[in-house]
């Protein structure tokens, strides 16, 4: 009668080889759980490109969920059978939660980043210059509605040192025929410049200029005045469209903003 005491709740209830295998497996799952988060970051980073949003591939963290989940579930199972797996359960819970949080960023921020190529056609119409419209685009909307500026406002609220951001788009073009035609048009156009002079650079927000510093064609269009690459001669709050193009990488950055010019 006394020989059966605790036989179902201790590792000794298993054959020695099986017990060693279980302990080794739980140690391995414990260690691998710590690598699940950096592995998810590596998977996400490998997919990112100029035209991809930072959270587009966050869902890939879910691919690593089986590791901490196995650590958690098996930890509970074998703890009931007498194994010391409390640390497996704790680590499994922590990394399951972390992977779910990071993985959900794709869905949480889905409304912040848009991938609609028709946006390029809208910009083409506004700046009166045809842009390629085949490729990959990510548009980050800072505000929902861009003002329909038909006149210059001198009383608009100044935001972030005179700048009010509306959107930023990162684009990679893929259609070789469109790209070739666009390069030819840009080279023969007076609306594009290859360098941004000091007066002009003063009305280009750093958010855009730092991300396009290596690009080689630029356009700054004043929507209110219908002018290209010039600083307004009068003070006021103007709406601008900034376009930078990298002809070697077929990349483009477009920024929409208003700028309070003080002369």
pLDDT top residue among 152 and 216: 216
The domain segmentation of the chain, as residue ranges, is 2-108, 113-261
Which two structure tokens, joined as six digits, stand for 49?
Answer: 């490109």
pLDDT of residue 225: 96
pLDDT of residue 134: 95
φ/ψ region of 5 (left if φ > 0, alpha if ψ in -120 to 50, else beta) reads: beta
In 166-220, which residue ranges form alpha helices assigned H by DSSP?
Answer: 176-187, 198-201, 206-209
pLDDT of residue 2: 45
pLDDT of residue 194: 95
Residues 182-192 pLDDT 10s:
999 999 999 99
pLDDT of residue 7: 46
Find the range with the poorest average confidence among 25-34, 136-145, 149-158, 239-248. Answer: 149-158
Q: What is the pTM of this model?
A: 0.77
State percent of the chain over pLDDT 90: 74
Residues 204-226 pLDDT 10s:
999 999 999 999 999 999 999 99
Q: Is the pLDDT of residue 159 over 60?
A: no
pLDDT of residue 158: 33
Displacement of CA 179 from its chain's centroid (Å): 25
DSSP secondary structure string, the chain? -GGGTTTTSSGGGS-HHHHHHHHHHHHHHHHHHHHHHHHHHHHHHHH--TTS-TTTTGGGGGGGTHHHHHHHHHHHHHHTTT---HHHHHHHHHHHHHHHHHHTHHHHTTTTEE--THHHHHHHHHHTS-----EEEEEEESSS-----SS-BSSPPP-TTTEEEEEEEEEEE--HHHHHHHHHHHHT-TT-BSS--HHHHTTS-HHHHGGGTT-SEEEEEETTTTEES---SS-EEEEEEEEEEETTTTEEEEEEEEEEE--
Rounded to whole angstroms, how far apart are CA atoms 3 and 244? 81
Cβ neighbors of 71 (< 8 A, separation 6 or more) are: 26, 29, 30, 32, 33, 88, 89, 91, 92, 95
pLDDT of residue 147: 58
Find the range with the poorest average confidence among 59-73, 123-137, 160-174. Answer: 160-174
pLDDT top residue among 4 and 57: 57
């Amino acid at each position: 009668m006394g020989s059966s005491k605790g036989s179902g709740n201790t590792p000794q209830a298993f054959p020695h080889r099986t017990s060693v295998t279980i302990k080794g497996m739980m140690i391995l799952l414990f260690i691998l759980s710590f690598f699940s988060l950096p592995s998810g970051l590596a998977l996400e980073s490998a997919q990112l490109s100029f035209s991809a949003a930072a959270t587009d591939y966050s869902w890939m963290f879910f691919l690593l969920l089986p590791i901490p989940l196995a650590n958690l579930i098996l930890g509970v199972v074998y703890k009931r059978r007498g194994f010391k797996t409390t640390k497996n359960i704790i680590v499994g819970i922590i990394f399951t939660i972390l992977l779910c949080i990071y993985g959900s960023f794709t869905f949480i921020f889905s409304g912040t980043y848009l991938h609609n190529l028709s946006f390029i056609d809208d910009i083409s119409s506004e700046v009166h210059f045809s842009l390629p419209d085949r490729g990959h685009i990510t548009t980050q909307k800072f505000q929902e509605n861009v003002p329909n500026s038909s006149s210059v406002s001198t009383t608009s609220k100044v935001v972030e040192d005179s700048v009010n951001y509306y959107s930023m788009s990162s684009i990679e073009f893929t259609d070789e025929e469109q790209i070739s035609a666009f390069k030819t048009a840009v080279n023969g156009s007076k609306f594009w410049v290859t360098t941004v002079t000091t007066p002009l650079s003063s009305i280009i927000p750093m958010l855009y200029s730092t991300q396009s510093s290596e690009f080689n064609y630029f356009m700054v269009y004043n929507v209110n005045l219908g002018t290209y690459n010039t600083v307004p001669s009068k003070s006021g709050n103007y709406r601008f469209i900034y376009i930078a193009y990298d002809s070697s990488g077929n990349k483009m950055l477009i920024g929409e903003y208003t700028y309070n010019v003080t002369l």
